[in-house]
Amino acid sequence: MNIGRELFYKEFVRRESNIFRAPYNPELEFYSVIKSGNVAKTRELCRESLLDKPGLGALSEDYLQNIKYHFAITAALVARYCIEGGMELAVSFGLSDFYIQKADKCKTPQEVADLHPVMCLDYARRMRNLRKNRVCSRHVASCIDYIYDHLHTRITVEFLAGFVGLSPSYLSRLFKKETGYSVSEYIQARKIDTAKNMLVYSDHSPSQIASILAFPSQSYFTEVFRKHTGMTPLRYRAQHFRMIEIGRKS
């Protein structure tokens, strides 16, 4: 069963733009993934070339210039999302200026397209490091990396303690001191963050999501989800569907 969950979880993380996507705005997911510092998922979402993206508007009659304009728009939006995620304003806008200037020097549309994933991964790595830099010890940083990569499994304090070579009691105290969360609270919060993303950007049912994220039952998943968000998974999906639809019409 664990293998099945892993496949489903990795399938969600790795899916390309036309797989398991409900009819929502994919751009919202793209920028949120970078903001979260999820490098692996950013890499997968960048597999689609900027040149192949559907719906790119005509901002210039010159094709190369048009691609540069869209690159600049992406850079500006990524910068703003990362600022919301905690990146310093000067750093984020400075980085976008750097990549926009590099794109401006490109001689072909393909050069601009090749620069696009480089920029996105740079931002994602910086956001991931920003999250880890708030943590002091390498032990807790290693635990956080493991948790993010294995949300499809049941993760215990005992396992993480063995993974980083500490006693469970010492790791628990250290983790709480450095993150403000107990290990179980942190794991639960990250699973709910992922569940929210899956509810908005995939067509998986709550029962499927509960299984993929290794919750013992759908009822427990619903209970935990309500505790974190104040609503059931289905209500959360319906509310955010309406919000996205309103955003698309405005």
Contact between residue 181 and residue 139 where contact means Cβ atoms under 8 Å apart:
no
Q: Could you tell me if 130 and 37 are in contact, meaning their C-beta atoms sit under 8 angstroms apart?
A: yes
Residue 83 burial (CB < 10 Å; 0-12/13-18/19+)? middle
Question: Are the CB atoms for 127 and 33 separated by under 8 Å?
Answer: no
Separation of alpha carbons 142 and 163, rounded Å: 9
Crossing angle for the helix pair 109-133 and 138-149, to the nearest 10 degrees: 130
Packing angle, helices 89-104 and 63-84, rounded to 10: 170
pLDDT at 247: 44
CB 191 within 8 A of CB 215: yes
Report pLDDT for 27: 60
Distances (CA, A) of 168 to 56, 94, 163, 215: 52, 42, 10, 22
pLDDT of residue 170: 97
pLDDT at 28: 65
pLDDT computed for residue 85 by the predictor: 81
Q: What is the full per-residue pLDDT of the chain (250 aa) written as tens digits?
A: 455 555 555 555 544 333 333 333 446 678 888 988 888 889 988 888 888 776 677 888 899 999 999 899 899 889 988 888 888 888 888 899 999 999 999 999 999 999 999 999 999 999 988 877 666 688 998 898 888 878 889 999 999 999 999 999 999 999 999 888 999 999 999 899 888 878 877 788 999 999 999 999 999 999 999 999 999 999 999 987 655 444 444 4
- Structure token digits, residue 131: 């999250």
- Could you tell me the domains of the chain? 1-14+23-134 (no CATH), 137-250 (1.10.10.60)
What pLDDT score was predicted for residue 22? 30
Amino acid identity of residue 116, one-letter, is: H
Q: Rg for the chain (alpha carbons), in Å?
A: 20
Yes or no: say if 193 and 236 are a contact pair by the CB < 8 Å rule.
Answer: no
Residue 13 has a pLDDT of 52
Rounded alpha-carbon distances, angstroms, from residue 23 to 31, 48, 52, 248: 17, 18, 19, 12
